[in-house]
Every structure is written in C-alpha cells, then in structure tokens.
C-alpha cells in the first residue's frame, strides 16, 4: 500500500515539477558521518538533524529553502521518515542558489536556536510560493512567526558569527561536493541518481533493510 501511494505521489510530483519554474543549475553500510565526496564531508557536526540522532540511515539533503523542487519533495521526505521513525534521520545542508535563500536560512538557524526548527521549516516551506525568489521575504518571516518563532529575538541574532560560519562552510562544501542543482540527496553516502519520491523511498528502504 505504501509503495502504491508513493507511485501515485511520484506521478503528481512529476506533473508539479514540470509545470512549475523548477530550476536546475546545471556494504557494508556507509554512514554519512564518514562519507565524503571528493574529500568533502557530507555532514558537519553543526548540521541540523531531524529524526533520531542514532538512526542507522541518514538522508543528507542539499537544500535551498527557496527552491520549488525542494518544496515539492519536502512532504515526501516527511512521509519516508514517518514510515521509518526509528530508522531514518534527515540532515540538511544549505544551498543558496535563489534570491531570499540566505535570509531564509538565517530564519531557520534562529529557529534552531529557539528550538522550533521543525515547525518553522514546515511553515516556511508551505509559504514558499509567497516569497520564492523575492529579495523581500516578509511572508517567510510571517510564516515563521506563526510557527512559534520569536521574530524580535531572531532578528537580533540572525547575523551572528555562528550563523555566518554555518553559511560559509556549507557554501564551501556545496562547491567541494559539486552540487549544481537542488534538491540533491545522499542516503548513507550514496547519491540518489534520479530525483523522485519513489526513487528516494526505494533507496532509503534498501539502506534500512541492509542495516538490520
């Protein structure tokens, strides 16, 4: 039943992606902590994690909060994690290909400081059509506030050296790994070769099975 649902979701996903302005800028079990691409780590110790810290399967998503493809995949990633709540964690790496992306990342990082990262992420992604590729991302701030962000405190800390460092290191790793489009997924160090909900589900499932 889950596979059938994901197949249907894949069809809907393809239609959504190809009708939207989706831009691509042209085992043994291997854990993402140790996996590298061209000697660049896929996960840093500061990287935001959603899911169990000790999950045997790690999805690393190179993620641009203003990317329409990232928004399209977001609910499917959540479905996959819901299917394997104890087995799968998500690690987000930031990619800044679009207008407004850096400020959106700063919103997310202040939400992490305030321990409301996940609800703010969901809200900002849901509101993305209202601020996507716009240097004025007031709608993203409004969405974050509705999800529990203390906006005044966030604006006071959004340009901290710590957040600057996260953005700079992720930018360097994006270059080091060779990321040219978003979203780009790795599962336990293996790159998803073809983007789609079913393809991601199948790769995650294979890693879950091999971890038993």
Closest Cα to residue 61, out of 212, 209, 203?
203
Confidence of residue 212 (pLDDT cuts 50, 70, 90): confident
The number of residues making up the chain comes to 212
| Per-residue pLDDT, 24 | 38
Angle between helices 68-83 and 2-19 (to 10 degrees): 170
pLDDT at 31 over 50: no
Torsion sign across C-alpha atoms 17, 120, 201, 30: positive
The residues, ordered by sequence, that sit 6+ positions from 168 with a Cβ below 8 Å of its Cβ are none
pLDDT at 189 over 60: yes
What does pTM read for this prediction?
A: 0.84
| Per-residue pLDDT, 36 | 81
> Using CA atoms, how far apart are residues 73 and 59, in angstroms rounded to an integer?
13
Angle between helices 117-126 and 68-83 (to 10 degrees): 130
pLDDT at 30 over 70: no
Domain ranges within the chain, ordered by starting residue: 2-210
| Per-residue pLDDT, 114 | 98
pLDDT, mean over the chain: 88
| Per-residue pLDDT, 45 | 95
Would you identify the CATH topology of the domain 2-210?
A: Glutaredoxin (3.40.30)
């Amino acid at each position: 039943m889950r596979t059938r649902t994901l197949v249907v979701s894949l069809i809907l996903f393809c239609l959504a992606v190809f009708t939207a302005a989706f831009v691509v800028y042209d085992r043994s079990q291997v854990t993402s902590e140790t996996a590298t691409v061209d000697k660049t780590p896929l996960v840093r110790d500061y990287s935001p994690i959603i899911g169990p810290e000790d999950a045997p399967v790690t999805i690393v998503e190179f993620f641009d909060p203003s990317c329409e493809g990232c928004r399209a995949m977001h609910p499917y990633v959540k479905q996959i994690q819901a299917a394997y709540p104890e087995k799968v964690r998500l690690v987000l790496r930031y990619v800044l290909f679009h207008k407004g992306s850096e400020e959106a990342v700063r919103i997310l990082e202040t939400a992490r400081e305030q321990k409301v990262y996940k609800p703010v992420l969901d809200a900002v992604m849901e509101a993305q059509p209202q601020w996507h590729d716009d240097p004025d991302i007031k709608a993203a701030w409004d969405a974050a506030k509705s999800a529990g962000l203390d906006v005044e405190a966030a604006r006071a800390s959004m340009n901290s050296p710590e957040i600057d460092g996260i953005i700079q290191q992720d930018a360097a790793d994006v270059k080091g790994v060779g990321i040219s489009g978003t979203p780009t997924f790795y599962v336990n160090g293996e790159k998803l070769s073809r983007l789609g909900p079913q393809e991601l589900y199948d790769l995650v499932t294979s890693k879950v099975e091999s971890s038993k």
